[in-house]
Amino acid sequence: MTVSEGPIVVSHLFNVSKATLWKAITNLEDMQQWFFENIPAFKPKLGFKAQFDVSSEDRVFPHVWEITEVKPLEKIVYNWTYETYKGNSFVTFELSEKDNQTMLTLTTTVTEDFPDDIPEFKRESCIGGWNYFIKERLAKYLNS
């Protein structure tokens, strides 16, 4: 993922209220069900930091999140980096109501290029990952 490639945007319409969707994306116990089960802590609060490892094949990706913006029931922004890899991004979750449903629009904006020799940092991998988490895992979690 590089700055020059532009943002990645994934949207999905959920048949739930804004409050239900907000809880699913900001409550630790909910997030552990559909996102990353090993998130050690999470608070939708400005300045909150979380750090945890995710393994993929023979690599470990030490995730570092810091909340940089919160508007309850509307928007939460993470600064998303990896402790041992260069690169920097911001991930924005935005909620909006639409015909008694809630639209989630997720935007990943890269502000410093990630290594281009690691497959997990390719744009296609990021798009695939967000589609999986939002359109499959979160959708299934909210429909169960």
| 15, 42, 115, 131, 132 from 97: Cα distances, Å | 10, 25, 37, 20, 22
Domain annotation for the chain: domains and CATH numbers? 3-143 (3.30.530.20)
Query: Residue 57's pLDDT is what?
Result: 78
Query: Residue 144's pLDDT is what?
Result: 61
Q: Residue-wise pLDDT tens for the chain (144 aa)? A: 999 999 999 999 999 999 999 999 999 999 999 999 999 999 999 999 999 999 887 888 999 999 999 999 999 999 999 999 999 999 999 999 988 899 999 999 999 999 999 999 999 999 999 999 999 999 999 986
Dist. CA 35–CA 85, nearest whole Å: 21
Is pTM beyond 0.85? Reply is yes
Q: How many CB atoms lie within 10 A of CB 79?
A: 16
Dist. CA 36–CA 28, nearest whole Å: 10
